[in-house]
Structure 1
């Protein structure tokens, strides 16, 4: 249940888009990549996946780039992670019948852990991350004064 590099980069890119959402202008890949220190080519692939998942929209043209497809307070971290990592169907897990009592116990605990992590990710939105980021920046500024 680690945060993959792929999901971390996607979250960083979406945070950049969420922070820019009020300006109404799209961000270009190279802007996001430079700001978040993400390789351009990799970011391009991630944004394509996010676009197919309906989380971002692309705009063509000289002033083109990417924007969020929805409001930052409506996009949950669970949606993002599921889009990037792919949703493991719980039906596939249910079909895998544990072969022993020990296997059954492990399976039950794993399912409980997965449900708990899904609940936490469902409870946070991009807006929540922006607010946490701003609060952390404010603390850092106060610390240095």
Structure 2
């Protein structure tokens, strides 16, 4: 299991939106892209997907941009990754039915691994990422004194 580039960029963009959540001011794509080093056009597509998924809201106008649709502590990482990557629950029963004992064993282990990963992602929110980033920045400051 690997974190896709799409999910990583989306989480970085959402981290930026979560950091500015209390100000209530929308962030423009170019601001987020510059801060997190994400290509503008790719970020535009990601934010459109997240908007359709109800994770962010867009505001039009000169002072427009993107804001989180809910509080950062109410958006978990599983919801974000699921919005971008989709879920594997669309497979038909025939496609998931193993043909051999060996493939049954492999599939059961893979299912267990996916469930464990989903549980971890479900237990972390955007707020948790903000807090961990702040803690790391604080540690980095201490090293340079």
Q: Secondary structure at the match of 1:70?
A: coil
Partners of 1:108 and 1:128 in 2: CA distance: 31
The Cα of 1:92 is off from its aligned counterpart by 1.8
Q: Secondary structure at the match of 2:67?
A: strand
Partners of 1:94 and 1:9 in 2: CA distance: 33
Which residue of the partner structure matches residue 19 of structure 1?
Answer: 19
TM (norm. structure 1) is 0.97
Partners of 1:94 and 1:7 in 2: CA distance: 28
Partners of 2:91 and 2:4 in 1: CA distance: 22
Tell me how large the CA RMSD over aligned residues is.
0.9
Equivalence map 1:14-53=2 (5 Å): 14-53=14-53
The Cα of 1:136 is off from its aligned counterpart by 0.2
1:92 aligns with 2:91: yes
Q: Secondary structure at the match of 2:131?
A: helix
Partners of 1:94 and 1:131 in 2: CA distance: 41
Partners of 2:15 and 2:33 in 1: CA distance: 12
TM (norm. structure 2) is 0.97
Residues 98-137 of structure 1 show CA distances to partners (whole Å, capped at 9, x for unaligned) of 0000000001000000000000000000000000000000
Equivalence map 1:1-145=2 (5 Å): 1-89=1-89, 92=91, 94-95=93-94, 96-145=96-145
Structure 1 portions without partners, runs of 5+: none
Residues 32-88 of structure 1 show CA distances to partners (whole Å, capped at 9, x for unaligned) of 000000000000000000000000000000000000000000100000000011122
Moved over 2 A (4+): none
Partners of 1:18 and 1:62 in 2: CA distance: 21
The alignment covers a number of residue pairs equal to 144
